[in-house]
Amino acid sequence: MDIIKNKVAKIIAEKTTVENKLQAICNLLESTISYYDWVGFYFKNGDKEELKLAEYTGEETEHTIIPFGKGICGQVAVSNSNFVVQDVSEQDNYISCGWKVKSEIVIPVFVNGENIGQIDIDSHTANIFTPKDEELLEYVSEKVATIL
């Protein structure tokens, strides 16, 4: 995971747009970690109580806008806490992005103490996420916060 962290730090330091950096991080995570099947960022949509999809890698999703409180991402927007779901079929408040998705991890991004967005990972494998994933994604979240 340290190699990935170093690559993320290099992406953050590049002289390019925020959008390019976010896309590069999505591409890196999805291509490096075999069970990261969809990687994306959602950010608060202006003053609205909703999240808007930003950069992502993986299958297209119709969930470009997610109301606060709805699904895993929407719950993280309200709770301000990490949410690791090892088996999405056990979640009542889950928005399905496709039948292949078995587990999901969502880590908030804080800027000046405010939850302004999140990184969202879907996996086609159940019970796959470990505390190492959470630690890596918290690191990514902290790095991303420095460019927003």
Query: What are the tens digits of pLDDT across the range 40-88?
Result: 999 999 999 999 999 999 999 999 999 999 999 999 999 999 999 999 9
The residues, ordered by sequence, that sit 6+ positions from 134 with a Cβ below 8 Å of its Cβ are 82, 84, 105, 107
- Tell me the mean pLDDT in the region 103-132: 97
| pTM of the complete model beyond 0.85 | yes
Instruction: Give the pLDDT score at 72.
Output: 96
42 neighbors 66 (Cβ within 8 angstroms): yes
% pLDDT > 90, the chain: 93
Instruction: Give the pLDDT score at 122.
Output: 97
CA dihedral 53, 58, 62, 63 (to 10 degrees): -40
Distance, in Å, from the CA atom of 2 to the CA atom of 113, rounded to the nearest integer, reads 26
Using pLDDT thresholds of 50, 70 and 90, give the confidence band for residue 96: confident
Instruction: Give the pLDDT score at 3.
Output: 97
The domain that holds 26 is classified in CATH as 3.30.450.40
Under DSSP, the state recorded for 146 is T
% pLDDT > 70, the chain: 100
Q: Structurally, how many domains does the chain consist of?
A: 1
Structural domain of 50: 2-145
73 neighbors 64 (Cβ within 8 angstroms): no
CA-closest candidate to residue 94, choices 63, 60, 129: 63
Distance, in Å, from the CA atom of 23 to the CA atom of 113, rounded to the nearest integer, reads 24
